[in-house]
């Protein structure tokens, strides 16, 4: 993937209340972009539009010259959104959740899975159910699944929330590793934990 993510004149309103208006920016391959703005400025809404979870908006979101609406379901392998809350099956174990998403996304690289589990120090939690885990550990699992899927554009909504300092550093290292492979990141962070991350650009809402 050597095409940029292009957002052009994006408008979004809920019940005639304008969330944002005329947003335009570009995320080039292999870059890390910070999406910043005060609470309620529409950061999450923008991220969900980019990741095809919200479909009623004005303007254009494209990869290269192809609008994301024209992609079929494969768009979810190209752009992946990690929500600030847990999007895992609460009654499955950590290991079962990871294996489920691996199977669902037709992933075959088992080494990568083991490597990421080790980096996030999740070995001792593998047989525990998600609802028994702390918010920080759940967050690590969500991020781990993102890196396993390995999309071209990673949309991270408050990824550092609940993460301890060590895990935040691991996340930063992973972001740099994947950036070197040409992957792009769009990140929001109100916790300032990302201050050590070298952003290539900032989008202000």
Partner 1 sequence: MDSFIQKVILIFMKDLKTEIREKLNVVYLFILCPTLSLIMFIFLGEKSMVELFFLTCLIVALVANQRISRQEISVGGELILISAPIDLSILCFSKILFFIFINVFINIIVFITLFMLSNNFILIDFIGFSFLCLLFTIGLSSILCTFSLMLERIKGEGQFMFILIYPLIVPFLVLSYNSINLLGLLPSEEFFSSFALQGLAAFDILLLTICPILFSYSIRR
Q: Which residues bind partner 1 (CB under 8 A)?
A: 51, 53, 55, 73-77, 80-81, 83-89, 91-92, 96, 100-101, 103-105
How many angstroms separate the CA atoms of 115 and 82, rounded?
A: 20
Whose Cβ is closer to partner 1: residue 158's or residue 189's? 158
Minimum separation from the CB atom of position 131 to partner 1 (A): 10
Minimum separation from the CB atom of position 196 to partner 1 (A): 27
Minimum separation from the CB atom of position 123 to partner 1 (A): 22
Whose Cβ is closer to partner 1: residue 77's or residue 200's? 77
Minimum separation from the CB atom of position 52 to partner 1 (A): 8
DSSP state of 161: T
Whose Cβ is closer to partner 1: residue 81's or residue 120's? 81
Encoded tokens for 192:
């300032």
Minimum separation from the CB atom of position 41 to partner 1 (A): 19
Whose Cβ is closer to partner 1: residue 125's or residue 197's? 125
Whose Cβ is closer to partner 1: residue 34's or residue 99's? 99
How many angstroms separate the CA atoms of 82 and 70, rounded?
A: 22
Residues 6+ apart with CB under 8 A from 183: 29, 30, 150, 151, 152, 153, 154
**Can you point out the beta strands (E) in 76-198?**
79-82, 153-157, 184-188
* Beta pairing partners, 21: none
Whose Cβ is closer to partner 1: residue 157's or residue 197's? 157
Residues 6+ apart with CB under 8 A from 107: 101, 113, 148, 149
176 sits in the region (left: phi over 0; alpha: psi -120 to 50; else beta) called alpha
Minimum separation from the CB atom of position 50 to partner 1 (A): 12
């Amino acid at each position: 993937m050597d095409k940029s993510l292009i957002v052009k004149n994006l408008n979004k309103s809920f019940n005639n209340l304008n969330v944002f208006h005329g947003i335009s920016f570009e995320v080039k391959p292999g870059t890390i972009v910070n999406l910043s703005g005060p609470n309620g400025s529409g950061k999450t809404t923008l991220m969900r539009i980019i990741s095809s979870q919200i479909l009623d908006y004005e303007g254009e979101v494209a990869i290269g010259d192809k609008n994301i609406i024209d992609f079929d379901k494969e768009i979810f392998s190209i752009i992946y959104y990690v929500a600030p809350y847990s999007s895992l099956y609460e009654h499955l174990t950590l290991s079962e959740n990871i294996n489920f998403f691996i199977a669902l996304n037709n992933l075959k690289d088992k080494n990568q899975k083991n490597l990421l589990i080790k980096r996030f120090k999740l070995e001792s939690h593998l047989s525990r159910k998600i609802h028994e885990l702390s918010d920080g550990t759940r967050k690590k699992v969500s991020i781990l699944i993102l890196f396993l899927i390995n999309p071209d554009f990673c949309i991270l909504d408050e990824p550092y929330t609940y993460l301890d300092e060590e895990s935040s550093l691991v996340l930063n290292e992973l972001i740099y590793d994947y950036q070197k492979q040409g992957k792009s990141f769009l990140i929001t962070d109100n916790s300032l934990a990302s201050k050590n991350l070298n952003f290539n650009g900032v989008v202000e809402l």
